[in-house]
Amino acid sequence: MRRIETEAHITEALDALVGADPRLGPVRAVAGDVPLRRTPPGFASLASVIVSQQVSRASADAIFGRLAQLIDPLTPQALLAAGEEPLIAAGLSRAKQRALLAVAEAACRSRLDLDALCHMEAEEAISRMTVIPGVGPWTAEVYLLVSAGHPDVFPARDVALQAAIGHAFGLPSRPDARAAAEIAESWMPFRAVAARLFWAYYREMRGREAAPLG
């Protein structure tokens, strides 16, 4: 399984996707630039994904920017030592505060190896991550996409992806997570690049970035 590591990998995968599903040709034309979206694996990367949960990209950028300034470097040890005050000051919800603290504690106690996860098959990595409170399938899938460069994960619960698919294919309503996942099955083994494509399409469709931090 080749990871998505370079812009050339994105181009190759997009060519393969359009060849397999011609509906994606017009999507690619509208989307324009499809960013690589890679960050180094580790706690800061997962923290940025958690911050991105259920908020706009602009809000996530602002909150994570404050958090990274208040806790620098942003490591599990530093976050646990800092306590709740910087989490509150950064603007994190209670749920996200609990999630970050749970991830930091798991990492410090060697119950969560965020680097090792990037070398596992997606299903195993997701199952290990989602036992941590506050880390659901969407968070785990996005982490694997941006930090592991996994080629075949698709965060079907992402509302922007659902909206982009519905708009691009002229569907009567936005597909839910199950429907989006079913549509994405035809894009194996490059579903992660298809996700990047539809985030780029959404950006052009709505005039704002909706992809998670990464």
73 and 25 in a common domain: no
123 and 194 in a common domain: no
Question: If you average pLDDT over every residue of the chain, what do you get?
Answer: 96
Q: To the nearest 10°, the Cα dihedral for 36, 122, 100, 195? A: 40
Q: Is 211 a member of any domain? A: no
pTM: 0.96
32 and 49 in a common domain: no
pLDDT at residue 156 in the model: 98
> Which of 105, 131, 148 lies at the terminal end of a domain, its last residue?
148
Query: If we measure between CA atoms, which residue out of 57, 40, 65, 53 comes closest to residue 98?
Result: 53
Q: Is 212 a member of any domain? A: no
> Which of 148, 171, 192 lies at the terminal end of a domain, its last residue?
148
Q: Is 131 a member of any domain? A: yes
Containing structural domain, residue 66: 43-148
- DSSP run (H or E) holding 38: none
11 and 108 in a common domain: no
Q: What is the CATH number of the domain that holds 116?
A: 1.10.340.30
pLDDT at residue 214 in the model: 64
Residue 56 · residue 27 · CB < 8 Å = no
pLDDT in tens, 104-158: 999 999 889 999 999 999 999 999 999 999 999 999 999 999 999 999 999 999 9
126 and 61 in a common domain: yes
47 and 125 in a common domain: yes
pLDDT at residue 2 in the model: 87
* Domain total of the chain: 2
74 and 48 in a common domain: yes
64 and 135 in a common domain: yes
pLDDT in tens, 71-114: 999 999 999 999 999 999 999 999 999 999 999 999 999 889 99
71 and 11 in a common domain: no
Residue 73 · residue 40 · CB < 8 Å = no
At 203, is the pLDDT very low, low, confident or very high (cuts 50, 70, 90)? Answer: very high
The structure tokens listed for 43 are: 């706690």
pLDDT at residue 137 in the model: 98
Q: Is 19 a member of any domain? A: yes
144 and 53 in a common domain: yes
pLDDT in tens, 151-169: 999 999 999 999 999 999 9
Q: To the nearest 10°, the Cα dihedral for 24, 29, 32, 35? A: 20
Q: What is the CATH number of the domain that holds 163?
A: 1.10.1670.40
Q: Is 2 a member of any domain? A: no
Percent of the chain at pLDDT above 70? 99
Give 94-159 as a DSSP string: HHHHHHHHHHHHHHHTTS--HHHHTTS-HHHHHHHHTTSTT--HHHHHHHIIIII--TT---TT-H
Q: Is 98 a member of any domain? A: yes
172 and 123 in a common domain: no
pLDDT at residue 213 in the model: 82
